[in-house]
Structure formats: C-alpha cells, structure tokens
C-alpha cells in the first residue's frame, strides 16, 4: 500500500482529499503546515506528497526544498488559479506536477496514480543490462539509473531522468515539447510548459553554461535535441 502525505492548512480540503485517496486504498497522512509535513516525512515512509503552497509556519515551497535535499519522492503542488508564479517556482525547485484548485477528484486521482506509476517504473527499471549511453562528458547508465557529468554524479529525479534518457537515446533527433510530454508523462500533452521547466533544471546540472548549452539545445519553433 502506498503512503501519501497530504499537506494543506485547510482541514476540509485535506479531509476531502483523504476520503478520495482512501477510497482508492491509499494510506494517508495529513499535515496542516510545512513544519508538520517535514516531521511526518522524516518519521514515515512516504511515496508521494500533495503539497499546498500558502500555509502558516512554513509554506509549500520551503517544505519542498527541504524534502528535495534528500529525496526524489513525487511532489504535486495544490495551487489556486491565481498563483501561476508560485506554480512555476514550485516546478523550478523540484515539484513534479501541480493540480489547480478547485480540482476535479477524478483528475486528482489520475495524477496521483500517474506519478506513482512513473516513480515505480523508474525504481524497478526495465533497462537492458549494461545499457550505458555516453555523449561527451555526460554518461547515463539505464541499469543503475545513474547520470554523471565529467565523472561526477548528479541527482536526477524520475521525470528529469526520463527526459534525459529519451533525448540521449536519440541524439540529434529533435523532439517537440508535446512529444516529450507524451512520451515521458505517458498521457496527452496536458501541461507542456512543465517540459520547459524540467529542461531548464537538467541544463543547470549538465551544462557548464546553461545559457549557451553544449548538449541540450533548443531548435527554435520545433523543440529540443541532445547534440551528439
């Protein structure tokens, strides 16, 4: 059974989410501010976090940064429509996805299921043995799910890893943003802007100068490619 941490200072919303998730046989932990969320996260084995942004004591962005110091667990932001800047910030600091309030319960469950499925696939791995891709100073080992840059390991959460694997497995091939989203997220392009944020985060890890990338390049008006 998966353990899901629901973090929201609105107890009615947290309670409603708990009902939806328990109906799908998920085990639910609830926290009403970022500090309480971190305490539960340290104490319990959490497989996914639903994180509100605006909360007392410690907000969702601060709590996410703390979690990301040691964990790649999927984090989904719960965001009001008026908080577009916060959603972008959340993706930049490590959130995997966001759900807009007020949300449809079916969409909430679909996104939870999708992120858990991707995380499980990432953890179990279905790679061929010794499947190592090396382009320049970047090496990706699809058996161990490890990425190194100039022999130094970098941390790649599941979505970043899958984007990098897709592009490195097909060097010089240009993928549109929608193509990347559909292949990595395994669903129709619901929020393709998320791809751009993840690409930016990958560049910051593998490029000496992200503004003048050597590897992960944009083809204006078309998409992205990994130059090999």
The pLDDT, as a whole number, for residue 86 is: 67
Whether residue 28 sits in one domain with residue 115: yes
Residues 140, 222: one domain?
Answer: yes
Site of tokens 């040691």: 70
Q: What is the pLDDT of residues 124-173, one digit of tens each?
A: 443 333 478 889 999 998 878 889 999 899 999 889 999 999 999 888 99
Instruction: Note the pLDDT tens digit of each residue in 33-68.
Output: 999 999 999 999 899 999 998 898 899 889 998 998
Question: Is cis: bond before 102, omega within 30 of 0?
Answer: yes
Average pLDDT over residues 97-113: 88
User: pTM of whole model > 0.75?
Assistant: no
155 with 214, same domain: the answer is yes
Q: Indicate if 192 and 90 belong to the same structural domain.
A: no
Number of domains in the chain: 2
The verdict on 120 and 218 lying in the same domain is no
Residues 56 and 117 in one domain: yes
N residues, the chain: 228
Residue with tokens 């319960």: 105
Question: Which region, left, alpha or beta, applies to residue 137 given φ > 0 means left and ψ of -120 to 50 means alpha?
Answer: alpha
The pair phi, psi for residue 63, each rounded to 5°, is -65, -40
Confidence at residue 212, expressed as pLDDT on a 0 to 100 scale: 92
Domain with residue 214: its CATH number is 1.10.10.10
């Amino acid at each position: 059974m998966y353990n899901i941490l629901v973090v929201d200072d609105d107890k009615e919303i947290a309670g409603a989410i708990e009902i939806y998730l328990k109906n799908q046989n998920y085990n639910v932990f609830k926290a009403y501010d970022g500090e309480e969320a971190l305490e539960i996260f340290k104490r319990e084995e959490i497989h996914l976090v639903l994180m509100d942004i605006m909360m007392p004591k410690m907000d969702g962005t601060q709590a996410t940064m703390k979690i990301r110091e040691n964990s790649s667990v999927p984090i989904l932001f719960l965001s009001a429509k008026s908080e577009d800047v916060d959603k972008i910030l959340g993706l930049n600091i490590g959130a995997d996805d966001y759900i807009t309030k007020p949300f449809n319960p079916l969409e909430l469950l679909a996104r939870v299921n999708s992120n858990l499925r991707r995380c499980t696939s990432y953890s179990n791995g279905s790679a061929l043995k010794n499947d190592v891709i090396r382009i320049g100073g970047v090496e990706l080992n699809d058996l161990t799910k490890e990425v190194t840059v100039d022999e130094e390991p970098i941390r790649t959460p599941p979505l970043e890893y899958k984007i990098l694997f897709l592009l490195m497995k097909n060097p010089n091939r240009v993928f549109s943003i929608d193509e990347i989203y559909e292949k990595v997220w395994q669903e129709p392009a619901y929020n393709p802007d998320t791809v751009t944020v993840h690409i930016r985060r990958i560049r910051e890890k593998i490029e000496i100068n992200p503004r003048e990338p050597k590897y992960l390049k944009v083809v204006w008006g078309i998409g992205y490619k990994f130059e090999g």
